[in-house]
């Protein structure tokens, strides 16, 4: 596939957001052909460059999150910096930004102001809590979204504390919502001849939408679901089970037919005709007993032996992988899920390939995250037409 056959070729995205949710939107658009210009603070760059594991001072998360982006430095705290951003946005298709609403308005970077120079602009504004309520201007990170959405309340053992994820869950779910919102807004603009528009996305509501069932239960039954460990009160059996050789496997009986297969696979075909286990709601009422049956069976077998039985019986089960096991999985290797990408700082790095997969116009990785300001000359000279003296003056004043 060549660049001009990518589905988003010709689309220009200005990524003026920091950390995870907003930049992820731009990353995914860039994988499918959009030109992404990443705005970073001179000197320090996006804080995600300092996130997590580093190799020789290079942030590994940045390398993946910054894939396919052009990095330019620009100080939005200065009037001249904001003026340059307006020039970049004037002929762009999408702007992704995550300033607080009050800062956005004070700096005149709100959608109304930017739409006056680019009526077709799709602006993604990512905040902690969304506009229009008492928390509008509060700082927010994914951790707060994971807490307020109900996720942490449901995660963990019944007698243990609420549990937060060890990855950017709320940011990722918000970014997925924002990405498909961008595509809907572009369709409305380009197919229906509509105007650009503002996309308001926060870190609480997208994740809360996935965790809606407790709200439905509370609204209709007046009860508040609590933590159940690795069980789930909509299906049984469902848990992680420890094998004889110290590994773990996960199994789900969400579909009644699969639950019956699981009981037969562990040698308890008799339970498939027992009224306590043959019907879904009855299985939930006796979840602890059915769970023990499966757990005891798994505990007497190695992971390989247990998985062999479950696979032959077409039971929905899978090993619990760590990173080493994940990249070694034969199915993922066959699908090329973790390609090695050449990089001039790290030599090469294995990252996850774009998802989802399109048959005619698949996503691609052209390069990993660039150095801070690596594309200043290309963008400021070629796109904005700045000359040597102008660029030198902007550098001297700390604008770029």
Residue 141 pLDDT > 70: yes
Q: What is the pLDDT of residues 87-100, one digit of tens each?
A: 999 999 999 999 99
Q: What is the pLDDT of residues 35-54, one digit of tens each?
A: 999 999 999 999 999 999 99
The confidence score (pLDDT) of residue 237 equals 87
**65-69, 273-277, 286-290 — most confident range:** 65-69
**Do the domains 3-209+336-396 and 238-242+248-319 sit in the same CATH topology, yes or no?**
no
Percent of the chain with pLDDT over 90: 88
222-233 mean pLDDT? 90
Whole-number Å distance between alpha carbons of 177 and 128: 14
Residue 275 pLDDT > 70: yes
203-226 mean pLDDT? 96
Order across the sheet with 69-73: list the strands.
69-73, 35-40, 12-16, 94-97, 122-127, 198-202
Kind of pairing, strands 58-59 and 54-55? Answer: antiparallel
242-263 mean pLDDT? 92
CB 94 within 8 A of CB 111: no
- Catalytic residue selected from 110, 171, 200, 291: 171
251 pLDDT tier (thresholds 50, 70, 90): very high
The confidence score (pLDDT) of residue 3 equals 56
Q: What is the pLDDT of residues 191-208, one digit of tens each?
A: 999 999 999 999 999 999
Length of the chain, in residues: 400
280-289 mean pLDDT? 84
**Sequence spans of domains, the chain:** 3-209+336-396, 238-242+248-319
4 pLDDT tier (thresholds 50, 70, 90): low
Whole-number Å distance between alpha carbons of 329 and 306: 17
Residue 260 pLDDT > 80: yes
What pairs with residue 177 in β-bridges? none
262-288 mean pLDDT? 87
The DSSP call for residue 232 is: B
Q: With a threshold of 0.75, does the pTM exceed it? A: yes
In which residue are the tokens 């053992």 written? 157
The confidence score (pLDDT) of residue 198 equals 98
Whole-number Å distance between alpha carbons of 49 and 230: 34
Residue 233 pLDDT > 90: no
* H-assigned helices in the chain: 21-31, 60-65, 79-89, 101-106, 111-115, 142-148, 151-154, 169-190, 205-210, 213-221, 256-265, 280-285, 287-299, 303-312, 323-328, 330-334, 376, 388-396
The confidence score (pLDDT) of residue 306 equals 98
Percent of the chain with pLDDT over 70: 99
CB-facing half-sphere around the CA of 320: CA atoms within 13 A: 13
- Name the CATH superfamily for 238-242+248-319: formyl-coa transferase, domain 3 (3.30.1540.10)
- Name the CATH superfamily for 3-209+336-396: Crotonobetainyl-coa:carnitine coa-transferase; domain 1 (3.40.50.10540)
H/E stretch holding 319: strand 317-319
User: Could you confirm whether 366 is annotated as catalytic?
Assistant: no
Q: What is the pLDDT of residues 303-319, one digit of tens each?
A: 999 999 999 999 999 99
Whole-number Å distance between alpha carbons of 16 and 200: 15
Residue 2 pLDDT > 70: no
Inter-axis angle of helices 256-265 and 303-312, nearest 10: 130
């Amino acid at each position: 596939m060549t660049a001009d056959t990518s589905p988003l070729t010709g689309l220009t995205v200005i990524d003026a957001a920091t950390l995870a949710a907003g930049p992820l939107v731009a990353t995914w658009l860039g994988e499918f052909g959009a030109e992404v210009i990443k705005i970073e603070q001179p000197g320090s760059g996006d804080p995600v460059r300092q996130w997590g594991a580093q190799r020789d001072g290079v942030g590994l998360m940045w390398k993946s999150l910054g894939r396919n982006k052009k990095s330019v430095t620009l100080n939005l705290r200065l009037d001249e910096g904001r003026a340059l951003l307006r020039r970049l946005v004037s002929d762009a298709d999408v702007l992704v930004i995550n300033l607080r609403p009050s800062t956005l308005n004070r700096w005149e970077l709100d959608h109304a102001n930017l739409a006056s120079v680019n009526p077709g602009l799709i602006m993604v504004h990512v905040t902690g809590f969304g506009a229009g309520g008492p928390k509008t201007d509060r700082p927010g990170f994914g951790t707060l979204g994971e807490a307020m959405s109900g996720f942490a309340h449901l995660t963990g053992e019944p007698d243990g504390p609420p549990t937060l994820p060890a990855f950017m869950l709320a940011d990722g779910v918000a970014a997925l919502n924002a990405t498909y919102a961008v595509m809907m807004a572009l369709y409305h603009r380009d197919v229906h001849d509509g105007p650009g528009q503002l996309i308001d996305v926060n870190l609480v509501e997208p994740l809360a939408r996935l965790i809606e069932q407790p709200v439905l239960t509370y609204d209709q039954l007046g009860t508040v679901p609590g933590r159940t460990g690795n069980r789930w009160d909509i299906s049984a059996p469902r848990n992680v089970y420890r094998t004889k050789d110290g590994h773990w496997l996960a199994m789900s009986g969400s579909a009644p037919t699969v639950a019956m297969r699981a009981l037969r696979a562990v040698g308890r075909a008799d339970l498939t005709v027992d009224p306590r286990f043959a019907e879904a709601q009855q299985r939930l009422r006796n979840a602890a007993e059915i769970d023990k049956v499966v757990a005891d069976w798994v505990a007497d077998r190695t992971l390989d032996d247990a998985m062999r039985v479950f696979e032959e019986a077409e039971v929905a089960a899978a090993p619990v992988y760590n990173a080493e096991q994940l990249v070694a999985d034969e199915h993922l290797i066959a699908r090329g899920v973790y390609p090695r990408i050449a990089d001039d700082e790290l030599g090469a790095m294995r990252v996850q390939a774009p998802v989802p997969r399109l048959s005619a116009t698949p996503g691609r990785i052209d390069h990993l995250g660039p150095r801070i300001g690596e594309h200043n000359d290309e963008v400021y000279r070629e796109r904005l037409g700045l000359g040597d003296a102008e660029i030198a003056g902007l550098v001297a004043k700390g604008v770029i």
